[in-house]
Amino acid sequence: MTGVNRRSVLAAAVAGAAGLTGLGALPAGAAGRARAAGGRVVVYYQTQYADDDYVSPLGLTEHATGATHVIVAAVHLNDVGGPHPPVTVNDDPPEAEKYAPMWRDLDALRAAGVPVLAMVGGAAQGSFTRLDNEFDTYYPLLRDFLREYRLDGADLDVEEDMSQEGITRLVDALRADFGDGFLLTLAPVGTALSGGGNLSGFDYERLYRDRGDAISWFNAQFYNGWGSMESTASYDAVVERGLIPPEKVVAGVLTDPANGGSGYVELPRLTATLGELVGKHPGFGGVDGWEFFNAQPGGRAEPWKWAAEVSAALRG
C-alpha cells in the first residue's frame, strides 16, 4: 500500500521535529476470555499485498500463536462526491475484488475465536476532521461499514486535530449503536497517556475520566519518539499517573525496523520488557504489533512467529 496509509508516519515526522452488539459480533465473554489468558496479543494487519502477493493472516491461528485480536487497517472516510469512494480500506473500496480473500480469512479468524477490529484513520488525515465537523454525513458511513463487514470493534487512530466534544460524540455513538460487546479502542501515542505530547488535539485523560467505561483499551504507541519498550519506563509513566489502569493499556511496538521512523526494539529485549511488565503490573494489558506482514523473527515468510514469541513472553 502507499506510504501515506502507514500508521504513525506523521507521528514519526512530528517526533523527529520535536527531538454489534453489531451484526456478527463475538459475545463480550469471548473477547474477555481471550484477554484473561495472560494479556492481549494484538496484531495490526494493513499490508494485505506485498509485491503483489496476498498476505494471509491465517498463520496466526493455524500455528496457535496466542494472538488474541487482529486489527485490519486502515479505514478512511473520504469526501462525499469527491474523486474517491466515500469509504476505503487503504486505497481501495472495501468491496474491491482484491479484498475478497482478506474478508474470507478474517471471517475464519473470527470463527476461530479471534475478534477482528477495524482501524480508522492513521497517518492519512481527514477522517476525523470529517467526523468532527460533519458528523451526520460521515458517521453513518462508518457505522454501516462496520455492520456490513461484521467487525467486532473499531480502533480509533486519531492523528489529526479533533475536538473533545467530537471524540466524545463518536465514542457515545459507537457504543450506543453496537452495544457492550463491541470492542472500542483508541491508539494514542504513548506520551498522550502520561502527560506529554499528543497528536489528536483532544485530552485522552479527560476522555477516560468522562467515558472510561465505554473504552475497551488503548493501543498506546511506544515508538517513533513517543515512548520506548527498551525498558518498562514509558509504560510505568502511564500507570503511575493513577488514572488509567494497566489492564486498559496495551503496549504498541514495531514488529520490524522498516515499519516506523524509529523505536524498533529487538525481540529478546522486547520479550524481557514484557516479562517485567507482567510482573510489575497485575492485569498488564498486553502488546500490539505494527504490523503483521513482515514481523520479525519470521519476516515475510513466517510473520506469525512474532505473535508466538510475545505470547510466550506474556505467559511466562
Share of the chain above pLDDT 70, in %: 88
Look at residues 113, 108, 97, 181 and name the one whose alpha carbon lies nearest to residue 146.
181
Look at residues 314, 286, 291 and name the one whose alpha carbon lies nearest to residue 303.
291
Secondary structure (3-state) at 44: strand
Per-residue pLDDT, 24: 35
Express each pLDDT in 41-58 by its tens digit: 999 999 999 999 999 999
Name the band, by pLDDT with cuts 50, 70 and 90, for residue 25.
very low
Q: Is-contact 301 55, C-beta < 8 A?
A: no
203 φψ region: left (φ > 0), alpha (ψ -120 to 50), beta (else) = beta
Spatial neighbors of 4 by CB under 8 A, at least 6 apart, are 123, 124
Question: How far apart are the C-alpha atoms of 104 and 200, rounded to whole Å?
Answer: 33
Q: Is-contact 133 81, C-beta < 8 A?
A: no
Q: Which three cell numbers stand for residue 252?
A: 504498541
Question: How far apart are the C-alpha atoms of 191 and 195, rounded to whole Å?
Answer: 6
Q: Which three cell numbers stand for residue 192?
A: 498522550
Alpha carbon of residue 35 to chain centroid: 15
Q: Is-contact 267 309, C-beta < 8 A?
A: yes
Task: Examine the pLDDT at 23 and tell me if it is beyond 50.
Answer: no
User: At which residue does the C-alpha cell 529485549 appear?
Assistant: 269
CB count in 10 Å sphere of residue 25: 24
Lowest mean pLDDT segment, chosen from 12-26, 77-91, 245-259, 263-277: 12-26
Longest dimension (CA), the chain: 53
User: Across all residues in the chain, what is the average pLDDT?
Assistant: 90
Secondary structure (3-state) at 205: helix
Name the band, by pLDDT with cuts 50, 70 and 90, for residue 215.
very high
Per-residue pLDDT, 20: 30
DSSP state of 123: S
Q: Is-contact 86 76, C-beta < 8 A?
A: no
Task: Examine the pLDDT at 1 and tell me if it is beyond 50.
Answer: no
Per-residue pLDDT, 38: 61
0.85 exceeded by the pTM? yes
155 φψ region: left (φ > 0), alpha (ψ -120 to 50), beta (else) = beta
Per-residue pLDDT, 316: 81
Per-residue pLDDT, 256: 98
Q: Which amino acid is at 237?
A: A
Express each pLDDT in 150-193 by its tens digit: 999 999 999 999 999 999 999 999 999 999 999 999 999 999 99
Mean pLDDT across 237-258: 98
Q: Which amino acid is at 58?
A: L
Question: How far apart are the C-alpha atoms of 7 and 274, rounded to whole Å?
Answer: 23
Per-residue pLDDT, 7: 55
Mean pLDDT across 63-79: 98
Task: Examine the pLDDT at 28 and tell me if it is beyond 60.
Answer: no
Per-residue pLDDT, 37: 46
Q: Is-contact 217 184, C-beta < 8 A?
A: no
Q: Is-contact 227 190, C-beta < 8 A?
A: yes
Mean pLDDT across 283-293: 97
Question: How far apart are the C-alpha atoms of 118 and 273, rounded to whole Å?
Answer: 28
Half-sphere exposure of 264 toward its Cβ, with a 13 Å CA cutoff? 15
Look at residues 46, 42, 45 and name the one whose alpha carbon lies nearest to residue 65.
42
